[in-house]
Amino acid sequence: MEKQAIIDVKAVNKGFGGLKAVSNCSLSVAKGSITGLIGPNGAGKTTLFNMVAGTLMPDSGQILFDGKDVTHLQPHERFAEGLLRTFQIAHEFSHMTALENLMMVPPGQPGERLIDAWFRPGKTARVEAEVRKKANEVIEFLHLGHVKHELAGNLSGGQKKLLELGRTMMVDAKAVLLDEVAAGVNRTLLKDLAANIKRMNTELGYTFFVIEHDMDLIAELCDPVIVMAQGEVIAEGPMEELRNNPEIVEAYFGTAVEDVA
Ligand SMILES: Nc1ncnc2c1ncn2[C@@H]1O[C@H](COP(=O)(O)OP(=O)(O)O)[C@@H](O)[C@H]1O
Ligand SMILES: [Mg+2]
C-alpha cells in the first residue's frame, strides 16, 4: 500500500535564464519518513528545496503539503502549516544564550512573534513562561541542558546545529527540510545530530527531508533516498540498493565510487 505523502512535488519546473535547474520533477515524501535527497553539485536539490519551502516559485507544476496545495503560499504561510527548514543561527543571535535563541522562535501562532508579545502588557508574563518552559523541554530533549545559558556564539559547531534543529521543535512542525546540515560538523557530533534527528522522527513523529553530501549519514538516517541529476529524479530506493546499482553509481557517484563502496 502506498504510504501517505506529506510533501508531494508534481511535475515541477524551474529555470534560471537558459538553464533548467529543475526539470519536470515529481517526488513525494511519506509522512513519518526520513527521506534523503542526493545528487551531484548542481543537480537542482537546493532549488527544489527552495520551492518546497516557498522561497522560490516554480515556473510550472504543483507542490502539496499534507494534502493541501501550497504552491502559491509564502514561506511564512507554509511555516504556519508546519513545513519548516532550518536556518543557521543568525549573527545577531550569537550574543544571546542557547535558551534565549529558542525563545526567539515564533511560538506557533502564525504571524505572532514572541518579540511582539513582549510589547503587549498582560500577555507578556504568560507567553514568556510558556515559551521558556517549551524551550527548556527542547533543550533537555537535545541533551543541551549543560550549555543552555552559554552564549550561542560560544557553542561548538555541532551544538549550534543541534540548536538549529531545536528551533524547529519550538513550533508544531510536521516536516523539516534539512539542507546539508552536517556540513562542517565533526564525526562525533554528526552522530549526535543523527541520533537526535532519529529521535525526533521516532519519538515525536517528525518527517524529515534531508539533502546531504555525507553518504554515511544518508545511509544511516534515510529511507528512502531520492537521487537527482541534472534537474531530474533518476532513482529512488533504499541506500543499499542505490549503492549497488551501476547506473546510479555512474550517474551520480561518478569518480567518487571508492568513497561510497
Ligand atoms: N539563483 C540562481 N540563479 C541562477 N542559477 C541558479 C540559481 N540557483 C541555482 N542555480 C543553478 O541551478 C542549478 C542547480 O543548482 P542547485 O539547486 O543549487 O543544485 P544543488 O543544490 O543540487 O547543488 C545549478 O546549475 C546552479 O548553478
Ligand atoms: Mg545545494
Nearest CA, atom 24, ligand 1: 42
11 and 106 assigned to the same domain:
no
- How many helices and strands in the chain, by DSSP H and E? 11, 10
Cell of residue 48, nine digits: 527544489
Residue 166 belongs to a domain: no
Task: Report residues near ion ligand 2: CB below 5 Å.
Answer: 45-46
Report the Cα–Cα distance between both ends of the chain, in Å, rounded.
Answer: 32
Residue 159 belongs to a domain: no
Identify the pLDDT of residue 107.
54
Give 45 Cα–ligand 1 centroid separation in angstroms: 8
Determine the structural domain holding residue 253 and report its residue range: 5-92+173-260
Please give the average per-residue pLDDT across 135-149, as a whole number. Answer: 94
103 and 224 assigned to the same domain:
no
Give 46 Cα–ligand 2 centroid separation in angstroms: 4
Identify the pLDDT of residue 173.
85
Residue 163 belongs to a domain: no
Tell me how far CA of residue 148 lies from CA of 99, 102, 136, 155, 243, in angstroms: 5, 10, 8, 10, 40
Please give the average per-residue pLDDT across 61-72, as a whole number. Answer: 97
101, 114 contact by CB (below 8 A): no
233, 239 contact by CB (below 8 A): no
Residue 167 belongs to a domain: no
Of residues 206 and 189, which shows the higher confidence score? 206
Ligand that comes closest to the CA of residue 42: 1
229 and 102 assigned to the same domain:
no
The pTM (predicted TM-score) of the whole model is: 0.87
For the chain, percent of residues with pLDDT exceeding 70: 87
Of residues 173 and 25, which shows the higher confidence score? 25
Nearest CA, atom 11, ligand 1: 21
74 and 196 assigned to the same domain:
yes
Nearest CA, atom 12, ligand 1: 21
Identify the pLDDT of residue 126.
75
Residues with CB under 6 A from ligand 1: 16, 19, 21, 39, 41-47
